[in-house]
Structure formats: structure tokens, C-alpha cells
């Protein structure tokens, strides 16, 4: 798995989609965390993310406004959402949940772990439960979202390597 992005979708034939993605990054957790939490600059390297702006709520959590452009032949849409991000444990756990926008359910976490005790390698795991408020055939949404997660994980890896 070290040279690949692993994606597991476990939703069967029902909403919400449950997706898990994993990728090894040859960079320490602090650098990967820095890339992951650079909310205002994610559009510079995450494919199809056209807007990402953050603010703080009264509890010190982040509110991130994002727009994602989905542009495949049978499905074109700008997906908008407001996401509450909690930096639970530096540099290991971020949780998120959509509070407004085009997703009825959009919640999960990012987990950062040292790879087998090697402080210069990180296993980044993305977990998400997702269900749109708009109609989309489940199988199409699975394919689209799987590809988005792969592209995002690869982009985070590439940006983290540049930061190393």
C-alpha cells in the first residue's frame, strides 16, 4: 500500500456513503497537519476546490466555507458547504461536520499517524459519511466522490513533500 492511495467505500446500496481513504506521505505529521489546516490556500493545490475561506467561531473552532466544482459528462455542479472543523488533537486528529450547504450529511475525520515509528513518514487517513441534499444516483456519486478523495489525498501528499 505504500505506493498507492487506498480507498474503501462501504455503503452498500443505501445512503449515506461511508468512505475511507489512506495514503502514506514521506513527511512528518506536523508538516502534513500544516498543509491540511492551511484552509485559505487549499484551492492552490486541491483539484476542483474553487473556494476555501475560514473564520473562527466563539469556541476556537474553524468554520470553513468551500465550493467544489464537479464537472463530469453526466453531472455538473458547484457543491457549496460550510464546515465546522475541530482540531481535536495536534497533530493527529481533525474532525469536521457540514453545518450548512449542499450535503445533508458530511462528517468525519482526518487521522495522522507515524508510520511504524518512523517520524518522517505519516499515514494519513480520511473518513467520511456523506449524503447530498440533491438527487444523485448513488453509483454515480460513489464514483465521483471516490475520484475526488483520491485526487485530494494525492494533492495533500504532493504539497506535504514540497513543504519537507
CATH number at residue 59: 3.30.530.20
| More confident site: 73 or 56 | 56
- Are 164 and 27 within 8 A, CB to CB? yes
Asked if residue 80 is part of any domain, the answer here is yes
In sequence order, which residues have a C-beta less than 8 Å from that of residue 154 and are 6 or more positions away?
A: 5, 23
What is the predicted pLDDT for the residue at 138?
92
What is the predicted pLDDT for the residue at 76?
86
Percent of the chain topping pLDDT 90 = 81
Asked if residue 22 is part of any domain, the answer here is yes
Asked if residue 162 is part of any domain, the answer here is no
pLDDT tier for residue 140 given thresholds of 50, 70 and 90 = confident
- Are 47 and 155 within 8 A, CB to CB? yes
**Cell 450535503 maps to which residue?**
103
What is the predicted pLDDT for the residue at 101?
98
CA separation, residue 40 to residues 3, 50, 64, 96 (Å): 29, 11, 9, 16
- Are 83 and 64 within 8 A, CB to CB? yes
Asked if residue 86 is part of any domain, the answer here is yes
CA separation, residue 39 to residues 29, 35, 46, 66, 69 (Å): 17, 8, 11, 9, 17
What is the predicted pLDDT for the residue at 72?
77
What is the predicted pLDDT for the residue at 74?
77
Question: In the 8-state DSSP scheme, what is residue 153?
Answer: H
Total domains, the chain: 1
Asked if residue 120 is part of any domain, the answer here is yes
Asked if residue 145 is part of any domain, the answer here is yes
Asked if residue 104 is part of any domain, the answer here is yes
Q: What is the mean pLDDT of residues 115-133?
A: 94
Q: What is the mean pLDDT of residues 135-145?
A: 90
Q: Are strands 17-25 and 75-89 parallel, antiparallel or unpaired?
A: unpaired
CA separation, residue 4 to residues 24, 91, 133 (Å): 8, 23, 32
> What pTM value is reported for the model?
0.94
Asked if residue 1 is part of any domain, the answer here is no
What is the predicted pLDDT for the residue at 163?
83
Residue 1: pLDDT above 60? no
Please give the residue range of the domain that contains residue 33: 6-157
Amino acid at each position: 500500500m505504500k505506493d498507492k492511495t487506498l480507498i474503501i467505500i462501504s455503503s452498500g446500496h443505501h445512503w449515506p456513503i461511508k468512505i475511507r481513504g489512506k495514503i502514506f506521505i514521506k513527511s512528518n505529521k506536523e508538516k502534513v497537519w500544516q498543509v491540511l489546516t492551511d484552509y485559505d490556500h487549499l484551492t492552490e493545490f486541491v483539484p476542483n476546490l474553487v473556494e476555501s475561506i475560514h473564520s473562527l467561531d466563539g469556541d476556537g473552532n474553524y468554520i470553513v466555507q468551500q465550493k467544489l466544482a464537479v464537472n463530469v459528462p453526466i453531472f455538473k455542479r458547484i457543491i457549496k458547504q460550510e464546515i465546522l472543523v475541530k482540531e481535536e488533537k495536534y497533530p493527529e486528529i481533525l474532525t469536521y461536520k457540514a453545518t450548512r450547504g449542499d450535503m445533508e450529511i458530511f462528517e468525519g475525520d482526518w487521522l495522522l499517524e507515524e508510520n511504524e515509528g518512523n517520524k518522517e513518514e505519516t499515514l494519513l487517513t480520511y473518513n467520511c459519511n456523506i449524503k447530498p441534499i440533491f438527487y444523485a444516483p448513488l453509483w454515480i456519486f460513489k464514483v465521483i466522490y471516490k475520484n475526488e478523495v483520491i485526487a485530494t489525498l494525492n494533492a495533500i501528499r504532493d504539497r506535504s513533500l514540497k513543504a519537507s
